[in-house]
Amino acid sequence: MWLNYIVNTYSFMKEHEKNTEQKILDAAEDVFMIKGMSGARMQEIADKAGINKALLHYYYRTKDKLFEKVFEKAFKIFIPKTLGMMSSDKPVIEKIEFFVNNYISLLYKHPFIPSFVLSELNRNPQILVNIFEKNIQFTENDILENFDKQIKTEVEAGILKPVDARNLMVNIIGMCIFPIIGRPVIQGVLFENNKAKYNEFLKQRKEFVKEFIINSIKA
């Protein structure tokens, strides 16, 4: 009886900890999305999670550590299925469509990611290296080399024009990421600060980027 009580109590406590940490991560993501890294405050995150600040610091000692965890959580959603697709034997065009759809969706749901990456590249790039190493089982060079070989094969088959894999990926990522980074200017100047119109533009962006990239490389 006592053994069952101890086991049940331990299970309850672990589940409670898990739920508390999830509340913290959800609250932090909401605050980071609105305020960004520099504007977010730990007290605000604690209030939104419904806990006191001391408990928040028990789980995450600093705002940097919490931000890293939120970023890693979003990263883990995107990376596995994207790497799986990019390393598959699907046609290049199908891979591009998949990447653009998933990348813009990720940035739309987690708009704090681009600014975080840019700031960390200047401040502490090792953080990003650590996150990549923890979540990627093989190197980006392996993926790019395989992708480059596949492009060359499809060029020889008359499907694609000659194109460098690295330049192609930089073009795709740049076209996906800039509307998120440049949101204040794009929304303010092109859409008269109308958030609904900007969001609609972002949804349409997927199709535009896919068509633009694919039409530029199709033979």
Q: Are residues 187 and 81 in the same domain?
A: yes
> Do 138 and 45 lie in a common domain?
no
Domain that holds residue 164: 68-217
Map tokens 């977010």 to a residue: 40
Given a contact cutoff of 8 angstroms between Cβ atoms, the answer to whether 213 and 171 are in contact is: yes
The reply to whether 19 and 114 lie within a common domain is no
pLDDT score recorded for residue 8: 43
The alpha carbons of the chain give a radius of gyration, in whole angstroms, of 21
Domain boundary among 29, 61, 93: 61
**Shared-domain flag, residues 210 and 149:** yes
- Residue-level pLDDT at 12: 36
The residues facing 218 across adjacent strands are 160
Q: In this structure, what CATH number is given to the domain that contains residue 22? A: 1.10.10.60
The C-alpha atoms of residue 132 and residue 80 are separated, in whole angstroms, by 11
98 to 45, 92, 94, 102: CA distances (angstroms) = 34, 10, 6, 6
In a shared domain, residues 143 and 75: yes
Question: How many structural domains is the chain composed of?
Answer: 2
Q: What is the pLDDT of residue 141?
A: 55
Of the residues 61, 85, 109, the one at which a domain ends:
61
| Phi, psi of 90, rounded to the nearest 5 degrees | -65, 155
Prediction pTM value: 0.71
Using alpha carbons, list the distances in angstroms from residue 60 to 36, 46, 54, 57, 63: 18, 11, 10, 5, 7
Q: What was the pLDDT predicted at 211?
A: 95
First-to-last alpha carbon distance for the chain, in angstroms, is 73
10-residue mean pLDDT series, the chain (219 residues): 45 56 87 77 92 89 84 72 82 94 84 72 70 60 83 96 93 90 89 91 91 95
Q: How far is CA 128 from CA 44, 118, 119, 131, 213, in A?
A: 26, 10, 11, 5, 27
Q: Are residues 76 and 125 in the same domain?
A: yes
Question: pLDDT at position 144, please?
Answer: 81
Query: Residue 162 — φ and ψ, nearest 5°?
Result: -60, 130
CB 33 within 8 Å of CB 109: no
